[in-house]
Structure 1
Amino acid sequence: MRTIPKAESLDIEFKSDLKCYPDHDLIEEIVGMTNASGGFLFLGVEDDGSITGVHKKHKDPIGVTALIANSTVPPIAVRAEIITEEGKDVLKIEVPRSRGVVSTASGKMLRRRIKLDGSPEVIPMYSYEIPSRLAELGMLDYSAQPLAGATLDDLDPNQRVRLRRIIQNRPGGEKTLLSLPDDELDIALRLITDVAGKYVPTVTGMLLIGKEERIAELIPTAKSAFQVLEGTAVRMNEDSHKPLLELFENYETYVKAWNPERETEYGLFRIPIPEFDWAAFREGLVNAFCHRDYTMLGAVRVLIDDEGMIISNPGGFIDGVNLKNLLTVEPHGRNPALADAMKRIGLAEKTGRGIDRIFEGSIIFGRPWPDYSESTSRTVKLFIQRAKADLPFAKFVAEEQNRQGKPLSIYTLMILSVLNTERRCTVERIVELTNLSENKVRSAIEVMIESGLIEASGKGKDRTYILGKKIYRENKETIQYVRQTDIDSIRHPELVMKLANTQNGIITKQDVIELLKVTPSQAYAVIKKLQAEGRLELLCGGKYSKYKVINS
């Protein structure tokens, strides 16, 4: 069985060694990979994936490892081994992702990227890209750096008044900051920093309370865009270099005009249900500005169209964050100083778990989850789909939170959402759909069973879970509830016999699995029951056992 991948990617590289691949080219490829995401280089494989074998010069893994370490600064510690595929030797080199910026011994800094056609290439890493790389690795806070060319006169007094008003009015704002004079407030929020005995604005200071024209001049990358489309008609399209505090207030005003609400009754009260959850929008916007890469050209973009809302920002996920661990990874950002200031002002979630609010905003209304799947190594894109609220599910969640006197955890909400969609799930299926660890899922499930939110049936690996009867009652689906818990299992034998009779009296375990949507052991139990009742008999055994209907 072939173990070498069949195609190149960002972290997989093939190099032909028929003519002895040059050592200096090999070093450059390794440097490019370590300055990106690391990966594997296979020496002795053609670009099309065909295996042609490694040159005898490169059949010494220890020698190649030493060559790479001696030819890179700082030295790269790779792992190399000879593997045999299709009767030919290939040198497999495992390249770690660097924790800094690596160059060749001659001073070349390179990085790997994916071209428009999907193939990888190694290109120069320019000096202005180094801060971005270090920030991505959490080794540099670009937002805390003094901004070259900026002076205290570039800070707008009107924006500082706005800053104080936001702290006063926002629930999460640190009110103790309001007692500080302007200069001490600026220092406390790291809006200014001491450089050679003189205070100058930081990147954070200019982004939050800088004068618009100076932001455009000194931080041309700090651009934002708000767009609204109806079909192909452009209803709004505004580009701006305004300071972030003003932008937030403006964007909240804009969204109100394009975010209709409908009300639903909840007991004696009427609850407004917006098209897009406000908390989710605010946290998505905060994340876009706090985690964007300010060394890259581009804009933080808010787009509202017929499909939903997109919030995107330049700069991919930072080191250690990916699509599967968004909700579980320890919170850390690309611009800690900016994020900290936003939290203390009251604009951002203080725990750093704003991503939880983004998911919660969709789940509590029974809508599709937020989607980050179109994010790339250069852009993060959040998509919140337009969808009707599942009112019975929303009421069910609201009642439970009211009963407990606190919000449900994001893990509980995710599991409820999965069961609301899938109807019946095993732990393995819940883990697959939520990307949560099995321990977290099992722990949450036990608590949810005790509180009556969900119900379990079966034992061991066959144990499955459904929503509790309250949600079915709210949905006026008590018949479906009974079917989920009892009737389906009662009808299983008859359904199996019906299928067997339509297949010339023959049936297999796989047929039963596909028919009943059950596990292999559950299918086997149904077959054994029919055998015990004298309705089926084993026709032939083995891995692909067949069973025959016994005609009475």
Structure 2
Amino acid sequence: MDAEAVRALAAAGELWDVEFKQDGRDRLNDRQLVEAVVCMANGPGGTVLVGVDDGGHIVGAQPRHGDITDPARVEALILNKTDPHLAVRAEVVEVDGNDVLVVQVPRGPHGPVGTTDGVFKRRSLRYDGKPECVAYRPSEMLSAGLSLAGVDYGGVPARGATLADLDPGELERFRRLCDRGSGDSSLSTLDDTSLLRALRLLAEEDGQATPTLAAVLLFGREASLARWAGSAECLFQDVREGPTMANETLRLPLLRLMTELEERIRIRNSETELMVGLQRVDIPLVSTSTVREALANALVHRDYTELGPVTVQFADDYLSVTSPGGLVPGVTIDNILEQSRPRSVVLADAFKRAGLVDRKGKGVNDMFASQLRAGRDAPDYSRSTARSVSLLIPIGRADLDLVRFILTYEHDAQRPLRMDDLRVVHQIRVVGPSSSRELAEDLNLVDSAVRGTCTRLIELGLLDVTGAGRNRRYTLSSQFYALAEDRNAYVRVRGMQPVQQEQMILEYVRRFGSITRSQAGSLCQIEPTQASRMLRGMTSRSLLAMEGHKRSARYVLPE
């Protein structure tokens, strides 16, 4: 690594795979250095920069071996002080007259890595989104070890358990679910032992059939759950003022728990009536399919080696479902619509064969599509961390004009819109006229794919386009405004180009000294989110300068 690369890393700030260590008057000792390396090895691996402070300023590293720092001795120190032994690459890079010790750390190849003093740390995110090193708890290491070894937690035998520890009533519940339309009816006639074997929920130990932990989670009696699956609990809360307020802790086998949670949500799930042509459509706060998918994902994919309950919370504007353990390895917030991987294959298979989840692994996509068709924002996973998965389902006021627009098209065309179609249409409705680049950034999609989607939507009569080249913007078609009985809005949206809006904003600032987001929105007759985007764009091109932060921000002419 050269000086320019070190400067670039320092300027970018601490990242998930980059850690800064200041080495000033309070010299970074060997123990602290080894613990920093262990922390990175228990994450994705990465780079430790010794001699860079938390602000990204290069302050220099103190010599560790007399008048110099010997990289070979640093590598030997880390190799000897880690368990299992970890080989790193160390080098000293001079940057603007200061020495920076660069330690490149691989990901731990055989599971959790600790110091020879028994200290285990891992990478985590703070409340403000910045990375830090925290204690690596035994339960977390167990989960990581099972995942690394390819061991299904649900398939681990429940030592000492017998068939008598399972509730026959819960096995019968499973048979009834299988006998329904979407279940695997071939399982509905099997006896208890044959059913458990078909679901791979029995393990052979000392010549005897022993229920697995998944069998206890699915069918266990109350005492069995307490003994072998103590982390299996759920907290249901309704924090809205009124007679439906609730705060309950539920410790039940998973199929019964699923039923109880669905019923609690059902009695709170009011509907809005909408006429689409001559047809009456009821728009619930949250669809049955969305509820089922959200609950099933939390119960099946949570990390049962982690203590703490699954939390289901009803609030005025959202339904949230939070489960212990981060996203399954290989699944991220960015690829959650493309990737479907169970934490426990046997648990996921049991829910699929009971007909409780989508058998094609597209349940999350259906959940997103259901929300967008109901005129509400898409489900939000952005609050998820390495320790928990947090799903926020907006249930605020539905955009009935958008619902009517989508359902009218799908009824007339006799085919549903694709997922990306729904996302693009919804985003344009929320933020107003948008370029393909802006839509790609907002939706985390590839620009070329967005252009293809917009072209198809134009051909379907759902979008119009204004401008050309860099000023090309996509808007909802005139059909939307006709159905919404607001044709004047269509003229306003199409009638004013971004260049004209920018000129209006600049003229306003010249005359009055500054402008806020709300003032820009009122001036140009656009949504606040679109005004914010336009002001940011003008700032990035040095047409304006921002003063203040967030809601107090105002925009002035640059000096």
TM category (shorter chain) comes to 0.7 to 0.9
Q: Distance in 2 between matches of 1:462 and 1:285?
A: 44
Residue 120 of structure 1, aligned match among 132, 136, 156: 132
TM-score (norm 2): 0.81
Tell me whether 1:146 sits opposite 2:186 in the alignment.
no
Residues paired across the two proteins, number: 512
Tell me whether 1:133 sits opposite 2:144 in the alignment.
yes
Residue 42 of structure 2, aligned match among 35, 39, 43: 35
Q: Distance in 2 between matches of 1:490 and 1:85?
A: 45
Q: Distance in 2 between matches of 1:52 and 1:312?
A: 42
Decide whether aligned partners of structure 1 residues 79 and 279 sit closer, same or farther in structure 2, where only a CA change above 3 A counts.
Answer: farther
Decide whether aligned partners of structure 1 residues 353 and 63 sit closer, same or farther in structure 2, where only a CA change above 3 A counts.
Answer: farther
- Per the alignment, residue 388 of structure 1 pairs with 397
Per mean C-alpha deviation after superposition, the further-off stretch among 96-105 and 82-91 is 96-105
Matches of residues 62-141 of structure 1 in structure 2 within 5 Å?
64-65=74-75, 67-69=77-79, 71-76=81-86, 78-98=88-108, 100-104=110-114, 106=116, 108=118, 110-112=120-122, 120-123=132-135, 125-126=137-138, 128-135=139-146, 139-141=150-152
RMSD: 3.6
Q: Aligned to 2:179, what secondary structure does the other structure show?
A: helix
| AA in 2 matched with 1:411 | D
| AA in 1 matched with 2:271 | E
- Per the alignment, residue 450 of structure 2 pairs with 441
Q: Do 2:176 and 2:188's aligned partners in 1 also have CA atoms closer than 8 Å? A: no
Residue 315 of structure 2, aligned match among 302, 305, 310: 305
Decide whether aligned partners of structure 1 residues 441 and 65 sit closer, same or farther in structure 2, where only a CA change above 3 A counts.
Answer: farther
Shift of 1:104: 4.8
Decide whether aligned partners of structure 1 residues 465 and 237 sit closer, same or farther in structure 2, where only a CA change above 3 A counts.
Answer: same
Tell me whether 1:172 sits opposite 2:179 in the alignment.
no
Residue 272 of structure 2, aligned match among 250, 254, 262: 262
Matches of residues 388-467 of structure 1 in structure 2 within 5 Å?
388-467=397-476
Q: Distance in 2 between matches of 1:491 and 1:333?
A: 49
1:411-454 CA distance string (max 9 Å, x none): 11111110111221111111111112334323322322222222
- Per the alignment, residue 208 of structure 2 pairs with 198
Decide whether aligned partners of structure 1 residues 490 and 196 sit closer, same or farther in structure 2, where only a CA change above 3 A counts.
Answer: closer
Tell me whether 1:279 sits opposite 2:289 in the alignment.
yes
Q: Do 2:158 and 2:213's aligned partners in 1 also have CA atoms closer than 8 Å? A: yes
Gaps of 5+ in 1: 505-512, 524-543, 546-552
| AA in 1 matched with 2:323 | N
Q: Do 2:434 and 2:474's aligned partners in 1 also have CA atoms closer than 8 Å? A: yes
Decide whether aligned partners of structure 1 residues 2 and 164 sit closer, same or farther in structure 2, where only a CA change above 3 A counts.
Answer: closer
Per mean C-alpha deviation after superposition, the further-off stretch among 208-217 and 7-16 is 7-16
- Per the alignment, residue 541 of structure 1 pairs with none
Per mean C-alpha deviation after superposition, the further-off stretch among 115-124 and 392-401 is 115-124
Q: Do 2:325 and 2:389's aligned partners in 1 also have CA atoms closer than 8 Å? A: yes
- Per the alignment, residue 4 of structure 1 pairs with 10
Decide whether aligned partners of structure 1 residues 32 and 479 sit closer, same or farther in structure 2, where only a CA change above 3 A counts.
Answer: same
Q: Distance in 2 between matches of 1:90 and 1:305?
A: 50
Q: Do 2:175 and 2:189's aligned partners in 1 also have CA atoms closer than 8 Å? A: no
Decide whether aligned partners of structure 1 residues 444 and 78 sit closer, same or farther in structure 2, where only a CA change above 3 A counts.
Answer: farther
- Per the alignment, residue 476 of structure 1 pairs with 485
Q: Distance in 1 between matches of 2:11 and 2:86?
A: 23
TM-score (norm 1): 0.82
1:303-346 CA distance string (max 9 Å, x none): 11223211111111233333333223x21122222112111211
Shift of 1:43: 1.2
Shift of 1:215: 0.8
Q: Distance in 1 between matches of 2:208 and 2:507?
A: 87
Q: Aligned to 2:360, what secondary structure does the other structure show?
A: coil
Per mean C-alpha deviation after superposition, the further-off stretch among 152-161 and 104-113 is 104-113
Q: Distance in 1 between matches of 2:165 and 2:35?
A: 43
| AA in 1 matched with 2:178 | I
Q: Do 1:112 and 1:123's aligned partners in 2 also have CA atoms closer than 8 Å? A: yes
- Per the alignment, residue 342 of structure 1 pairs with 351
Q: Do 1:16 and 1:52's aligned partners in 2 also have CA atoms closer than 8 Å? A: yes
Decide whether aligned partners of structure 1 residues 266 and 99 sit closer, same or farther in structure 2, where only a CA change above 3 A counts.
Answer: farther
1:25-65 CA distance string (max 9 Å, x none): 42332122211343431112356765432244474546644
- Per the alignment, residue 235 of structure 1 pairs with 245
Shift of 1:154: 1.0
| AA in 1 matched with 2:135 | I
Q: Aligned to 2:245, what secondary structure does the other structure show?
A: strand
Q: Distance in 2 between matches of 1:62 and 1:438?
A: 46
Q: Aligned to 1:230, what secondary structure does the other structure show?
A: coil
Q: Aligned to 1:333, what secondary structure does the other structure show?
A: coil
Q: Distance in 1 between matches of 2:259 and 2:85?
A: 49
Matches of residues 465-544 of structure 1 in structure 2 within 5 Å?
465-485=474-494, 487-489=495-497, 492=500, 496=503, 503=510
Q: Do 2:440 and 2:450's aligned partners in 1 also have CA atoms closer than 8 Å? A: yes
Q: Do 1:462 and 1:519's aligned partners in 2 also have CA atoms closer than 8 Å? A: no
- Per the alignment, residue 550 of structure 2 pairs with none
Q: Distance in 1 between matches of 2:509 and 2:346?
A: 69
Q: Do 1:29 and 1:122's aligned partners in 2 also have CA atoms closer than 8 Å? A: no
Decide whether aligned partners of structure 1 residues 502 and 318 sit closer, same or farther in structure 2, where only a CA change above 3 A counts.
Answer: closer
Residue 183 of structure 1, aligned match among 184, 189, 193: 193
Q: Do 2:125 and 2:385's aligned partners in 1 also have CA atoms closer than 8 Å? A: no
Work out the percentage of aligned pairs sharing the same amino acid. 33
Q: Aligned to 1:4, what secondary structure does the other structure show?
A: helix
Q: Do 1:36 and 1:111's aligned partners in 2 also have CA atoms closer than 8 Å? A: no
Residue 15 of structure 1, aligned match among 6, 16, 21: 21
Q: Distance in 2 between matches of 1:365 and 1:205?
A: 37
Matches of residues 204-219 of structure 1 in structure 2 within 5 Å?
204-219=214-229
Decide whether aligned partners of structure 1 residues 124 and 274 sit closer, same or farther in structure 2, where only a CA change above 3 A counts.
Answer: closer
1:221-245 CA distance string (max 9 Å, x none): 0011222222398722221221111
Q: Distance in 2 between matches of 1:80 and 1:287?
A: 43
Gaps of 5+ in 2: 1-6, 512-519, 525-530, 539-556
Shift of 1:500: 5.7
